[in-house]
Amino acid sequence: MVPAVMAVVLGFWLSSLHFGESHGYPPGTEEMALLKIDRDLRLAAAMENDPAWLRWLANAGEPEAIRAEGAETLQRLWRTQQEAAVRGEVDRARLPLSVRAIEALEVLRAQEPGPALLERLRRFGLGLPTPQSTLRTRLATGSGQWWDAQLLRAYGEVSGPEAGQGALDAFERETQTLRGHALMARGAVWAVVLVGTLCLPWALRHLAGATITRARGYSSAWSASLGWTVFLASTLAWIGFGTVIGIGLVGVVDLPPSGTLALEAVVRLLPALIAIGFLFRRPRHALRVFGLDRSPDWPLVFGALAALLWFDGALSRTFEQWVRSDPTGGLSSMDEGLTGLVFVVISACLLAPLSEEIVYRGVLFRSLANRFGTMPGAVLAAGVFATIHFYNLYGLASVALLGLICALSFSASRRLSTAVALHVLYNAAVKLPEWVVYHASLS
């Protein structure tokens, strides 16, 4: 009875989170959307004349396509905020977008930025267009964005380019730095993928063999109902604790980064600690039973990672026409700067994989596999994992694939450390290039 009640509560939470009434985008969405559009436009412009394979390696789009996508993103933000104002969820007196975002939108929509664009912006009022001196200062000090450079060039067509050339030169140097960052970070990921591809035959044989292996020892006695109950209890505790922390921090303005990281660590690790507390008398017993006291099967890790990233690219292309993308591209203001890098590495790349592998693979998958077999258990646990992490159809498929491969890697190697290492490298392959391209300083 208790597991059924907990499952209903989790179902209500998931329904409210993913399918409940929309209240517009959260604060900070516009800033992150502008950051993403700016960096994507700069990268596209910097690599416009590079070979196609090099642009593919750096994930650089075509400039016109990026401009159109950026304009559509800002227009969608405008419509969403207008709808929220009509419903009374935001201040009706406020503009749907900030003045800077409105200016960016008009530059993105302009066919040929020049004197006509400046005149069009003047008709808006709102202090537009941004004065030439302000644009020069922004670009010279590294706080300018792509549309600022376009406007400064438009001013130059009227008054001559000499006055703003130094600022534009600084902007171009930053843009070339971004090109180098993208090639370095994303190239490193693909270098690892190529190494992993050499291990792929080994990994595929071992993953196929995982379907006929059986658990031994203490974990082989866990029933499906026990695993499901422990999973529900730890997940609901995580949801409740995270919600309380979120509410409590609403009025906190000056929480130091170390405090934020400490709270994030507690929230991340809580489900795993609860699961271990339910199932083991002593933590060291969990290390032995899960196989966390043994080193990962590295050929299996790298081969499985290569398979995941190749398949993930195919999934992205398959779903791109049907998925309404997040305006921010998943970027968060918490990831900005060197403090943000520390946060990304510790929270997303280390703590999250460790905690999730203990709960989803070590407990939930292992108990389901005891009852239904390895492959059905892996599929069921991956489905639960994807549902909890759901944000769109591509994300659902991508996370489910990660959960499936991690479960089979755990089963094939008989060590949860293999699944943890795979999950760590996968998250790092996603999050670290993202930080380098979008959050690292260019000056």
Both structure tokens of 214: 């059986």
* DSSP 8-state assignment for residue 162: G
d(C-alpha 366, C-alpha 352), whole Å: 19
pLDDT of residue 31: 94
pLDDT of residue 251: 61
Annotated domain spans of the chain: 29-176, 199-438
pLDDT in tens, the chain (443 residues): 667 777 776 777 667 666 655 556 777 899 999 999 999 999 999 999 999 999 999 999 999 999 999 999 999 998 888 877 777 665 655 778 899 999 999 999 987 777 888 988 998 888 889 999 999 999 999 999 999 999 999 998 876 666 678 899 999 999 999 999 999 999 999 999 999 999 999 888 888 877 766 667 888 889 999 999 999 999 998 888 888 877 776 566 577 777 888 888 898 999 999 999 999 988 889 999 999 999 999 999 999 999 999 998 888 888 776 766 778 888 988 888 899 999 999 999 999 999 999 999 999 999 999 999 999 999 999 999 999 987 788 888 999 999 999 999 999 999 999 999 999 999 999 999 999 999 999 98
pLDDT of residue 1: 64
Both structure tokens of 154: 């438009």
Contact 130, 167 (CB under 8 A): no
pLDDT of residue 212: 62
CA pseudo-torsion sign 15, 16, 17, 23: positive
pLDDT of residue 250: 58
> What does the longest C-alpha to C-alpha distance in the chain come to?
80
Long-range CB contacts for residues 369-374, cutoff 8 Å, separation at least 24 = 369/215, 369/407, 369/411, 370/215, 370/219, 370/220, 370/221, 370/222, 370/223, 370/224, 370/227, 371/223, 371/224, 372/224, 373/211, 374/210, 374/211, 374/212, 374/213, 374/408, 374/411
Supply the pTM of this predicted model.
0.92
Contact 113, 154 (CB under 8 A): yes
Contact 429, 189 (CB under 8 A): yes
Pseudo-torsion of CA 231, 233, 239, 241, nearest 10°?
-130
